[in-house]
Amino acid sequence: MAYNFKEVEKKWQKYWDDKESFKAITGDKKEPYYVLVEFPYPSGSGLHVGHVRSYTAQDAIARMKRMQGYNVLYPMGWDAFGSPAEQYAIKNHIHPKDAVKENIKTFKGQMKNLGFSFDWSREFSTTDPEYYKWTQWQFLQFYKHGMAYKDTIPVNWCPTCKSVLSNEDAAGGVCERCGAKVVQKEKSQWMLRMSNYAEDLLKGLDDTNFADKVKLGQINWIGKSTGVELDVQIVGGGSFSIFTTCIETVYGITFFVIAADGKLVKELMPRIQNKDEVNKYIEETAQKTNMDRTDLNKGKTGCEVKGIKAINPVNGKEVPIFLGDFVLGDYGTGAVMAVPSHDQRDFEYAKAHNLEMLQVIDGADTSNCAFEKTDYLGKGCKLINSEEFTGLTVEEAKKSITKKLVDKGIAREVNNYKMRDWIFSRQRFWGEPIPMIYCEKCGWQPMKEEDLPLLLPDVAEYEPTENGESPLANITDWVNTTCPCCHGPAKRETDTMPNWAGSSWYFLRFMDAHNDKEFASMDAMKYWNKVDWYNGGMEHTARHLLYARFWVQFLYNIGLVPNKEMIWTRVSHGMVLGSNNEKMSKSKGNVINPDDVVNEFGADTLRIYEMFMGDYQQDAPWSTDSLKGCSRFIDKIIRLKDKISDGEGYSKNLEALIHKTIKKVQNDLTTMAYNTAVSALMILVNTFDEQENITKDDYHVLLTLLNPIAPHITEELNEQIGFKPLCESSWPTYDESKTIDSEIELPIQVNGKLRKTIMISANADEETIKNAVHNEISSLLDGKTIVKEIYVKNKIYNIVVK
């Protein structure tokens, strides 16, 4: 029995639009609740079934919370800056803003067809000048507080395309577009001092309710390690520092390794005897990505820096210095001490280059592999070959060696963080222009705030320049301007901001989306307080989410937002894979277009299916067969309407199940167990179906519980039986006492193996149960001795026999 879902869905979508059913009112007396999904990048390929999964999940929460009496903010917008739009524009000679406008229209239409309860009155795009004005304004605040600076750093460069490449586009050291070999090129870039916030970003996690794996992801990305920075003298003058977390092995140093891309090797160059060899190695290193370089199996390359020796500060021993590509110029000090007996990477390097090794911690043989800290820490291992520290445990030695070196003034206890400053420049057209002006006389000057927004110019070509500058550099009447300071001739910064800029604060803008005086008013932000529930992909844990937290913490520190953390709960969804269990992609031909599914089966079917397909946080493959099961589920509910007969309240025999189901669905929706929520409703439907008759109230509670997931058909059926619209109704309540069964099926085990089950009364005493159990399984106990009996109330009865 097919129903006309197209008509029904359109009808209710129109109703919600007309009534503004989902408009959130800032300042409303009801308790605020802010539900957020990551706003999409409106790509040319349209909404993905993966979007549908997370938007439906959050929609279900938003709809339930509204019925529970909250003032729910569930907004949607567009993260529309970025290189795909720019690439598309280069190819087709249209302005990216036109392509973006088209794409947004498509996305929005698709979302409307799916019935998401977004508050469309707060919609904006990061590419709107009214929005990016404030992104630029906030950049100026970073600059004015000393948080933005220019630095020269290496970028991936394709000499053929004359373009800066992302690591993704430069994967394998080859340009994705033209296949040319990618090289590293020095470029001056705007940076944000994010590393200043490393400790705060770590501590701030305590004030959030992020999922553990999200917290862990951030903690690892920040990568705090506590250790010692040690000064090392060079024979014949000069010095450098190394960072180590294993100072206890300092007597085992047999050589040092310095980064090929670091500053030290350049300083030493005049004194190096084998310049040719060293330069050649530096060049080779420049062509490798960090990942290639730190890979253990590839980490043995390098060469000695001849003519220069370093002095081990603890014992005055002269040891050689090597170049190695596993040492990164931009992590730590760009130099490491090498203790081959106690670090596997050093060990392999030493073997490959035939270098000396010296064991300084006792407890394992180090002739075939290193005895590393993971194996010796906390095991009471003692030092050997370490002068006055010989005989101390590793833990004691760590402290006393550090103390000695610190007292001597040649070492410092420091925290080191893997997280680096944020490279904020992009040599692209389609991003927020960085509102900075360069004057020969006055240097870098910020634009005046009242001159914002600095608009992207309208031009026809978006090709980058010969030397890899943003296409903006070609637009001379835009570039040439006057210095805000001396009013002389000056040039604009032609780099733009990264895509992450606009998405770092959009959730604040949703709180006060059309404010033209401030990025958002303090009152509005205080009212909404925090994003209560933020959903996004796990892949954004280390990037977007961390950038956003950094941005907010900075705004908090300068008094512009009410909380240091503006996001309370962060959860992540799994991907929707193709039916072949692989990531959906055009090339694999396994892409499912949500429009097709909505056309053939309706939005409600798609929504139920995507909630039912599996654990929300886990990837799940698409199955059109399973989708049909959800279509049948709806048909079954429609047929149930014919069973409605007179009668008030819940049917007596259904009451317990109904109360249990309310509890189950409510709990499941708040713990993202959407699949079992649907399953519980299927069980309820199956049970209703077994009845001769059901009451209107039985049916109504079913429709209410399913409404957050399948809003259209439930509204329609609900109207047909004469109730007011569900979007204006309340969530049902359950009575805990009615969810408890009076009779329980008790499993009986003998020696841990299930033998029988018996029905018992939930409040029966143990003696009664024991008798019943023995009575039931007496034949199985014949000739056996009972060793032990275990009864777990209302759970299990286990008898151990010999």
For RNA, give the closer residue by CB, 543 or 774. 543
Considering beta carbons, is residue 311 or 796 the nearer one to RNA? 796
Residues of span 35-54 touching RNA by CB under 7 A? 40-41
3-state secondary structure 213-237: HHHHHHHHHHCEEEEEEEEEEECCC
689 near RNA, judged by CB under 7 A: yes
Minimum CB distance to RNA, residue 144 (Å)? 23
| Cβ contact 336:257 at 8 Å | yes
| Shortest Cβ 341–RNA spacing (Å) | 18
Residue 62: CB minimum distance to RNA, A: 22
- The contacts of residue 236 (CB under 8 Å, 6+ apart) are 271, 308
Least separation in angstroms between CB 633 and RNA: 6
Q: Is 801 in the site for RNA (CB under 7 A)?
A: no
> For residues 143 and 554, is the Cβ–Cβ distance under 8 A?
no
Nearer to RNA, 499 or 695 (CB): 499
Whichever of 294 and 390 has its CB closer to RNA, that residue is: 294
Interface with RNA includes 521 (CB under 7 A)?
A: no
Q: Report how far residue 420's alpha carbon sits from residue 727's, in angstroms, rounded to the nearest whole number.
A: 47
- Report CA 184 to chain centroid distance, whole Å: 28
Give me the residue label for tokens 């205080």: 526
Question: Is residue 699 within 8 Å of 619, Cβ to Cβ?
Answer: no
CB of 472 to RNA, least distance (A): 14
Min dist. Cβ of residue 279 to RNA (A):
25
Q: In whole angstroms, what is the distance from residue 519 CA to residue 75 CA? A: 16
Q: Using CB atoms within 10 A of its CB, is residue 641 exposed (0-12), middle (13-18) or buried (19+)? A: middle
Residue placing its CB nearer to RNA in the complex, 40 or 453: 40
707 contacts: CB under 8 Å, gap ≥ 6: 63, 67, 714, 715, 718, 726, 727
Which amino acid, 29?
K
**String marking each residue 749-768 x if it binds RNA according to CB under 7 A:** x-xxxx--x-----------
The DSSP line for 132-200 is HHHHHHHHHHHHHTT-EEEEEEEEEEETTTTEEE-TTTTGGGB-TTT-PBPEEEEEEEEEE-GGGGHHH
Nearest distance in Å: CB 621, RNA: 6
Query: CB within 8 A of 582, min separation 6: which ones?
Result: 588, 590
Nearer to RNA, 181 or 583 (CB): 583
For RNA, the binding residue among 403, 448, 628, 784 (CB under 7 A) is 628
Residue 636, interface with RNA (CB under 7 A)? Answer: yes
Query: Can residue 660 be called a binding residue for RNA (CB under 7 A)?
Result: no
- Classify burial at 491, counting beta carbons within 10 Å of its beta carbon; exposed 0-12, middle 13-18, buried 19 or more: middle
Binding map of RNA across residues 202-231, x = CB under 7 A, - = no contact: ----------xx--xx--xx-x--------
- Partnered with residue 382 across adjacent β-strands are 393
Residue list 146-205, contact with RNA (CB under 7 A): 155-156, 164-170, 187, 189
745/762 Cα distance (integer angstroms): 9
Which residue in 68, 679, 729, 739 binds RNA (CB under 7 A)?
Answer: 679
Number of shown-chain residues binding RNA (CB under 7 A):
95
Of 605-624, which residues contact RNA (CB under 7 A)?
A: 612-615, 618-621, 623
Report how far apart, in Å, the C-alpha atoms of 575 and of each of 54, 197, 211, 569, 615 are: 9, 31, 17, 20, 11
Q: Among residues 37 and 310, whose Cβ is nearest to RNA?
A: 37
84 binds RNA (CB under 7 A): yes
Which DSSP string do the residues of 243-306 spell out, in sequence order? EES-GGGGGG--EEEEETTSHHHHHHGGG-S-HHHHHHHHHHHHTS-HHHHH-GGGTT-EEEEE
Of residues 526 through 545, those in contact with RNA by CB under 7 A are: 537-540, 542-543
What part of residues 418-477 is at the interface with RNA (CB under 7 A)?
418-420, 422-423, 425-428
- Of 463 and 689, nearer to RNA (C-beta) is 689
Q: Smallest gap, in angstroms, from Cβ of residue 428 to RNA? A: 7
**Tokens 């592999």 belong to residue:** 369
Binding residues among 245-284 for RNA as defined by CB under 7 A:
none
Does 363 engage in binding with RNA (CB under 7 A)?
Answer: no
The answer to whether 682 contacts RNA (rule: CB under 7 A) is yes
User: Exactly one of 28, 102, 295, 395 binds RNA (CB under 7 A); which one?
Assistant: 295
Q: How far is CA 530 from CA 34, 202, 514, 526, 565, in A?
A: 7, 19, 19, 8, 8
Report if residue 3 touches RNA, rule: CB under 7 A: no
Smallest gap from residue 739 Cβ to RNA (A)? 12
Question: Which residues 404-423 are close enough to bind RNA by CB under 7 A?
Answer: 418-420, 422-423
> Residue 522, interface with RNA (CB under 7 A)?
no
Residue with tokens 């080191």: 416
Selected from 296, 352, 486, 786, the binder of RNA by CB under 7 A is 296
Q: What contacts 50, CB < 8 A, 6 or more positions away?
A: 573, 575, 576, 584
Which part of the chain contacts RNA (CB under 7 A), choosing from 76-84, 224-232, 270-278, 708-716? 76-84
Stretch that binds RNA, among 3-11, 68-76, 408-416, 673-681 (CB under 7 A): 673-681
Site for RNA contains 507 (CB under 7 A) = no
Candidates 269-277, 456-464, 590-598, 629-637 — which segment interacts with RNA by CB under 7 A? 629-637
Residue 747 contacts RNA per CB under 7 A:
yes
Give the N- to C-terminal CA distance of the chain in Å, as an integer.
60
- The residue assigned the tokens 């010095």 is 239
**745 belongs to the binding site for RNA (CB under 7 A):** yes
Which residues, at least 6 apart from 599, have a Cβ–Cβ distance to it below 8 Å? none
Question: Which lies closer to RNA via its Cβ, residue 187 or residue 573?
Answer: 187
Between CA 491 and CA 469 the distance in angstroms is 14
Q: Is 629 in the site for RNA (CB under 7 A)?
A: yes
